[in-house]
Amino acid sequence: MAIDDDDRPRPKLIHQIGQDLSLLSLDDLNERITALEGEIERLKTEAAKKRASRDAAASFFKS
């Protein structure tokens, strides 16, 4: 029997862009900042990999 997507547990959402922050504690805010900084680094790393791949392909086809 197949499992519907609605039946699967969803990962905990750490932060939603534009979310009301007024009810969060200072510790909660700092936790979110740390998580988002980690995500930014992950995105930058992936962008660098893709940029290197694109540059290698461009270099190959220029030759």
Q: Residue 49 is part of which domain span?
A: 25-63
Number of domains making up the chain: 1
- pTM of this structure: 0.68
- What is the full DSSP assignment across 6-62? GGSPPPPP---TT---TT--HHHHHHHHHHHHHHHHHHHHHHHHHHHHHHHHHHHHH
pLDDT digits 0-9 by tens, 8-35? 887 777 888 899 999 999 999 999 999 9
pLDDT at 4: 66
In a domain, 48, yes or no: yes
What percentage of the chain reaches a pLDDT higher than 90? Answer: 63
- The confidence band for 37, taking pLDDT boundaries of 50, 70 and 90, is very high
Q: Do the domain assignments include residue 15?
A: no
Q: Can you give 3-20 as a three-state secondary structure string?
A: CCHHHCCCCCCCCCCCCC
